[in-house]
Structure formats: structure tokens, C-alpha cells
Structure 1
């Protein structure tokens, strides 16, 4: 017995004949908003829009440009001469036997220019922070008022922080430099605070661009009172964070690629604060033999 004719049709012809008798809804083309096509700079609610072209923000000053060229060629000359002396311009024997090194001290107006202060006012908060010299012009005095009231912009839930961070060191022609602390194992500070806990953060160079927000952190507990305190924190105690979140995959600091160091206050205790810093340095503590204080996970464990 022969099969019906419709069953002998190819599957493609059956599908096309079926679709011809169906009432398919009309589909309009997708409307992509302009923000999805061209992503502009993020602007917080309430902040006025800046209608300026990029070249309008450049200061075309001939005298300033000549000063910059002179400065960069002087830095380039210093780089060549330092290479003949030794690492970082020091003799090789002095570099090998060095036990202590002062990285930042405050003995001139240019020393404060190496630091940048910021607070939650950048996101609409109400905290204030200032930086100036101490009473005898040989210390750094950081003070202000902390306010944890979040801004009323409909999206910010938490606020209340003040920070002080060193600037990225630069070589000639605005090339990035790094601090090499691989010969040391301890961070050494001499501070005088008001009893508040601070967060010390160290930023290093990274291999990938998505790791630019990776920062190593540890706590600085100040005693308060009129007396100075010498604080020594081993680098093995610093833990890895990304945008304020502690990471599961921990690893030690790359001490040969240190970019900046910072001090952040965010203890949610509203009111005035102050922190005075005499110097910030690094040292070699032979009694400390710990390599890393936290558990390190193996991504490919041995079988």
C-alpha cells in the first residue's frame, strides 16, 4: 500500500508549507539606546554636564612646555648617570648591605606635593580632610572630620571615608617608575594618632588591566596621646583586596613593583580625626622569617 503523498515530501518543503499558513506576529527591529552604542563618561546625579571638547582642557603655554622639556632631559641625564654608579644611584656594596631606608619624609614644600588627599565628597559625602606640615615643619599632619551620612542621590548606600595616598613616581617623559623593596621585609613608620584604626594600602604593578584595583592592605592601630609610636608591619601580613573585598586567592606582595602607599580612615565613628607622620620607610628584620601569613590555594594540585 502506497503512503500518502504528503509524507513523501522533503522535510524542508513541509516546513515551508506549514509556515505559509500560519499567522506570525510582526517583529519590529530592536531599538538600541544611544548610551548602549556610545558609552560616555559616568556622571553622578546632580553633577552638571561639562560641555567642553578634550582639547579645550589643555593649557597651551609655551613657557610651561619649555620648563617641562628641561625637567625631563635633566631626569633622563640622571637616569644614565645612576646606572653607572649602581642600583638606584647607590654603589652595589651599599645596596647589598642596606638594612633601613627612609622612603618618605617631610622636610620641604615639595614633600607634600608627593601626596594626594581625598574624601567621600567626591561622591557627594560630607567628610572633610586636609594635609599640612606639623608644628615644627618636619612632619606631615593629616586632619579633618569624618561623616558617614550617605548622599541623597538614590544609589549610594554607604559613605564616610578619608584617604591620603602617595603619587606614582615618574621617570623622564612621564614614564612610570616603581619602588624596589625586594631587599626588605618590613614596613617601618613613626606616627602619632588619636586612637583610631587606619588601613594601610599598598598598590603594586599588575600584569593585566583588570587587576588595576588590586590593593594589599593591613591595619594600623594608633594609641592616641602625645607620644610617638614606632610601627613595624611585616609585608607578609598584607592581604590582597579588590575594590575593598578580600580575595580568596591570596599571594604575597610583589615588592619589586610597588607603586603607591595610602592611609584610609573609615571606622564609621563620626567626628574629628588627626594623624601625624614623621617618616615612612622600610627595613630588614632578620628575626622575621615568615614568607606569607595566609593560606595559598593551589589551582592545579599535584596528583
Structure 2
């Protein structure tokens, strides 16, 4: 027996038609996505430039003379690695190393000390900022100077610009293995600087365990007073916060002091004009009055119930 046909009321047909038209007029709503750090991050490529397709061996310089110099250098470093542990850590007596409370890591006392540093700016990506590095008066200090310009390059894609940076080179051991600084027995960064009143950013890079962490940096601020007088700056390592490609991370943790690779200074205060920063030395010290372990909130991954 066929089922009876059900006739809709006019009011029900009108409500159904209105609801159908509302769905057509509403824009498509996409679910909110939380920005996450990319697992695979490639090398930086200037906007507007085509990607270069090269084989890995095309960038290698096959030189016999350079190969002999590399072998001699690696054997010298390898010999030092074997002899230093018999004297003490880093070639110092073991008693001096145990009682050490202050250590100068970088000091500028000659032209060879500048070879441990590299200078860069947004000029490499088409910007107009310039930075230079030279020895100060009497060849006893490092003098970083230049001009900062926040004008972005005219490539149609880059919107922000204006930075200058100075960074120490990665120290290498024999066979091009990375050499790390062990600052685990210290808790404070000690600098003697003389600036022009601009705020700088101190960047410390440590060894990472995963490839997507290669852009992680620990940062804190360096406020210079300006004027002719030197200032001794002491910054506890507990104040440094974690960033990745200039973005502060939610998951914060103390800096890994046992495997420090490089340290750098970045200027990007958007104040166009000349700048200068003079550095006498960069060291670490042990401040027994500072007992803070970490200055920022740490989230528990698996909170207790």
C-alpha cells in the first residue's frame, strides 16, 4: 500500500527557502589554525630571485694546495686535542679551572681577533643598511659602526627591513667538528662596552638536536648609555628567552650552557641613522648572589592530575 503524500505548510516552505538563501550568502568559514614552527625549513632565498638548481659537488673547490693546508691544520688541531687533557681543560691547570670564577671568552687585542667575527646587514637582501668592523684606538677594542636604514628593498615582496648584526664564527676542531663553549659553571654574561645610547639585542646560539631548531636563538637586551664612559654590563643567563626566526616561542626553557656555539649583537630599533658600538671584552662570571634559575613561565607538558 503506497504511503500518503505529505504536503508542507506554506510557513514551513518559506522558512526552508530563507534558510537555504542564508547558507548561500554566508562566506565559507575555515577552521582556525594555530601557527606552528615548520618542521622543514629551507635556506633563505631573496624574494624575486629564481631558485638555483645545482648539484652538491658543484660548490666544492678541488684544489691540491688547499687540501694540503687543510690536512696540516687538522693534524695541528688533533694534536692539541690529545695534549690539552693531560694539562687540564682548555690547556689550563685543573686547579685553576676548578677555582675559576671569571673567564674572558673574546677580547680584541689585534687584527687576528677580528677574524673570529662576521658582520652582516640587510644590504645582503637588497636593503640600504651598512655595517663595518675595525679595531678601536690603540688596537685594544672592537669598533662596530655603520648606518641603519629601514627602507625595504624594492622587490615587491619584502615589507620590513633595517638591521645590522655582528656574530662570532663557529669554532671548529679537527676534521671540521664543532667546538662548543661550556659555560655550565657560570651564570652571568659580562661585557664591557661603550655605545651611543641605542638598544641592542644579544643573541646566543647553542647546539641543537633537530634540524628544525637550527634558527633557535636565546635573546636579551643590551641598553647602552651613550657618552664617553665605559659601562660594565652583567646579564644573568636566566634572563635570556628563546626565539626562532625572530618570534618568541611559547615553550620556553633555560639556555643550554654546556654547548654554546656563537654569540651575536643585532641592531634593529628602526631609528635610521649612524650607529656605533665599541666592545672591550666579552666574558662570563659566577655571581653567587644571583640564585634565579629561570625568569619566565615554563609550561608542563603533562600536568599532574
Please classify the TM superposition score into its range, dividing by the shorter chain length. 0.7 to 0.9
Partner of 2:247: 245
Partner of 2:295: 293
In the aligned structure 1, how far is the partner of 2:53 from the partner of 2:248? 39
Residues 1:113 and 2:115 aligned together? yes
TM-score by length of 2: 0.82
Partner of 2:202: 200
Q: 1:247 to 1:131 in 2, by over 3 A?
A: same
In structure 2, stretches of 5+ residues that fail to align are 1-41
**What RMSD over aligned residues (CA atoms) do the two structures have, in Å?**
1.9
Partner of 1:95: 97
Residues 47, 157 of structure 2: 8 Å contact kept = no
User: What is the count of residue pairs matched by the alignment?
Assistant: 265
Describe the SS at the equivalent of 1:132. strand
Residues 1:222 and 2:214 aligned together? no
Residues 1:74 and 2:73 aligned together? no
Residues 145, 275 of structure 2: 8 Å contact kept = yes
Describe the SS at the equivalent of 1:74. helix
Residues 1:186 and 2:188 aligned together? yes
Describe the SS at the equivalent of 1:293. coil
Q: 1:296 to 1:50 in 2, by over 3 A?
A: closer
Partner of 1:23: none
Residue 109 of structure 1 and its aligned partner are, at CA, apart by 1.9
Residue 168 of structure 1 and its aligned partner are, at CA, apart by 0.8
Residue 58 of structure 1 and its aligned partner are, at CA, apart by 3.2
Residues 131, 144 of structure 2: 8 Å contact kept = yes
TM-score by length of 1: 0.83
- For each residue in 1:171-213, what CA deviation from the matched residue of structure 2 results, as whole angstroms up to 9, or x when unmatched? 0111111000001000000000000000001010112111111
Residues 118, 167 of structure 2: 8 Å contact kept = yes
* Aligned residue among 78, 85, 88 for 1:86: 88
Residue 83 of structure 1 and its aligned partner are, at CA, apart by 1.5
In the aligned structure 2, how far is the partner of 1:171 from the partner of 1:287? 35
